[in-house]
């Protein structure tokens, strides 16, 4: 009798395990805090019957997995590129592109640094490929600045943040000096900059907000010639440029046939207006989420960006693009 009960228990356990559904998300470390909060809420609502896994391979790393059919959803801090679209096409992976929030890349230095603002041109002098092994001190950028060793920290090559930053600052995506401390983990970058008086780095707004006591944000001289710090308001009114950008999730059309993926994506787009601000990102207007829900429900495939980031894109411009999709 004991053996029968034990066998039934094992069988029931295996059945319960088999019934646990899985949603696989990977990609941007920038989008991760939003996805993590969504996953926790979704799993709580479903009482553990659906598990959501969220990885941080970076936008580029996430798309590699997504275009191999290994994940259901890819989180991205830039639009899908032409080469990634080709990979997905070759693997017959069709997708839906859904904007979920807006972000600002924050240029940060050690709190002891006396600087308060910086131009995009000065950032280019630091980060351009030709700066490698040549621009090694702050005074190499501007002779009025101290002869302090310049230590750079930033996202790695698989990161959408790296792609966007290099395109916005240097003029070409992935064009950068290689002698800097790179990591897909923004917490490592925070630790590096906060522990080095000569450091300068770039991180997402949410990670800066969490660590504002350890870091100092530099105002960016925008296209209008004004020094602007990154805040919710300056991202919304587009004065913090050119380092503001939209964030996305890409959903596999095949995965979207699954009821659990449909539930999760619909919750994501419905709750993003409150979840995104709670993890220090800028929510999109209600109209943007309504359009995204409509596009998802109708199964609208592809991208409105044609394989390229649009530097300095405003929330209003994003809405116009989505409206014509």
18 band by pLDDT with thresholds 50, 70 and 90: low
Cα–Cα distance, 67 to 90 (Å, whole number): 9
64 and 27 in a common domain:
yes
Does residue 304 form part of some domain?
Answer: yes
221 and 308 in a common domain:
no
Q: Which of 93, 70, 276, 247 is nearest to 160 (CA)?
A: 247
Tens digits of residue pLDDT in 156-178: 988 999 999 999 999 999 999 99
Does residue 5 form part of some domain?
Answer: no
307 and 192 in a common domain:
no
The domain boundary, picked from 177, 211, 236, lies at 236
Burial class (CB in 10 A: 0-12, 13-18, 19+), 202: buried
In whole numbers, what is the pLDDT of the chain averaged over residues?
92
Per the CB < 8 A criterion, the answer to whether 48 and 19 are in contact is no
Tens digits of residue pLDDT in 204-236: 998 999 999 999 999 999 999 999 999 999 999
Residue 213: CATH number of its domain: 3.40.190.10
Per the CB < 8 A criterion, the answer to whether 101 and 246 are in contact is yes
**Global pTM?**
0.88
185 is in which domain, residue-wise? Answer: 104-236
Q: How many domains would you assign to the chain? A: 2
Q: Taking each helix axis as running N to C, give the angle between helix 58-66 and helix 82-90, from 0 to 180 degrees, rounded to the nearest 10.
A: 20
58 and 85 in a common domain:
yes
93 and 144 in a common domain:
no
Which has the minimum average pLDDT: 8-22, 39-53, 57-71? Answer: 8-22
85 and 110 in a common domain:
no
């Amino acid at each position: 009798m004991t053996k029968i009960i034990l066998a039934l228990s094992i069988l029931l356990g295996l059945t319960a395990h088999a019934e646990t559904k899985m949603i696989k998300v990977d990609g941007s470390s920038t989008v991760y805090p939003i996805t993590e909060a969504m996953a926790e809420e979704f799993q709580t609502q479903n009482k553990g019957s659906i598990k959501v896994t969220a990885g941080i391979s970076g936008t580029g790393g996430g798309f590699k997995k997504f275009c191999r059919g290994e994940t259901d959803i890819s989180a991205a801090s830039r639009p899908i590129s032409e080469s990634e679209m080709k990979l997905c096409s070759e693997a017959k992976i069709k997708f839906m592109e859904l904007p979920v929030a807006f972000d600002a890349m924050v240029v940060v230095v050690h709190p002891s640094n006396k600087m308060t603002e910086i131009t995009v041109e000065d950032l280019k002098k630091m980060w351009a490929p030709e700066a490698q092994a040549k621009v090694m001190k702050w005074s190499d950028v501007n002779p009025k600045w101290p002869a302090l060793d310049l230590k750079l920290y930033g996202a790695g090559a698989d990161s959408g943040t790296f792609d966007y930053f290099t395109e916005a600052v240097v003029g070409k995506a992935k064009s950068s000096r290689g002698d800097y401390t790179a990591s897909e983990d923004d917490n490592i970058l925070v630790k590096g900059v906060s522990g080095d008086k000569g450091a300068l780095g770039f991180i997402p707004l949410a990670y800066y907000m969490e660590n504002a006591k350890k870091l100092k944000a530099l105002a960016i001289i925008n296209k209008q010639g004004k020094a602007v710090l990154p805040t919710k308001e300056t991202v919304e009114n587009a004065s913090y440029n050119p380092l503001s950008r939209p964030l996305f999730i890409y959903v596999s059309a095949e995965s979207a046939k699954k009821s659990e993926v449909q539930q999760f994506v619909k919750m994501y787009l419905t709750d993003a207006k409150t979840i995104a601000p709670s993890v220090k990102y800028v929510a999109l207007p209600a109209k943007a989420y309504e359009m995204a829900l409509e596009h998802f429900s109708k199964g609208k495939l592809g991208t409105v960006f044609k394989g390229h980031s649009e530097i300095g894109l405003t929330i209003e411009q994003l809405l116009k693009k989505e409206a014509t999709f």
